[in-house]
Structure 1
Amino acid sequence: MPFAILALDNPECETLRTALRPQHLAYLDAHHGEILAGGALLNDLGQAIGGLLIVDTQDRASAEAFVAGDPYTKGGVFGSIRVMGWRKSFFDRRRTGSISG
């Protein structure tokens, strides 16, 4: 089942984010089979302030375990994390599913 993971950074964590970035990317590469889409969230200056991932896991607990294992989570980069079910309606500039309900 697809889940959206919205993770917002703790304030003043840019140095920590930069230091942990190689481990974070290696973690995502190792789990690429579960990731449908993802990337950094940016402020108006183009600086990373969090991340958004769409993952396909068995259940919510698996999605929560996925983000819990991320080096950004373990290292304290993320200040808040929300895991929410996601229904694909539009993808790659096209409607791909139902948009009702």
Structure 2
Amino acid sequence: MPYVIMFHDDPGVLDRKKELRAVHLEYVNKNAPRIIASGGLFPEDDDFPTGGLIILDTDSRQDAIDYIENDPFFLNGIFTHYTVDRWRKFVFDHKRVNA
């Protein structure tokens, strides 16, 4: 069963995050074959993400933890807290999924 990982940036990291963004995107692209969905969380008044959500295709919670703790944003202190939860599709791509 996939896992959803969610994080929000720590305060005061915007400039450092912008510096690390290319390395983070490289990490995400490298792991794309095991990512169901991934994207930024945005504040209402800005077009630069201040967090993220990943749905990782893995049956192991530890694999999800390893993924997020090896993300360059985590390794460089952009965020220090995250959540990891099991996830099951109910509606996907605008359609009810038989579960």
Q: TM-score, normalised by structure 2?
A: 0.92
- For residues 97 and 2 of structure 1, the distance between their equivalents in structure 2, rounded to whole angstroms, comes to 16
> Could you tell me which residue of structure 1 aligns to residue 97 of structure 2?
96
Paired residue secondary structure (1:77): coil
Encode CA deviations 1:42-93: one digit per residue, 9 max, x unaligned.
1111331100000011300000000011000101111320010001111111
Paired residue total: 98
Structure showing the higher strand proportion among its residues? 1
Runs of 4+ in structure 1 displaced over 3 angstroms?
none
What is the Cα deviation at residue 96 of structure 1? 1.6
Letter in 2 for 1:27: Y
> Could you tell me which residue of structure 2 aligns to residue 17 of structure 1?
17
Q: Please provide the CA RMSD for this pair.
A: 1.1
Gaps of 5+ in 2: none
Q: TM-score, normalised by structure 1?
A: 0.91
% identical aligned pairs: 34
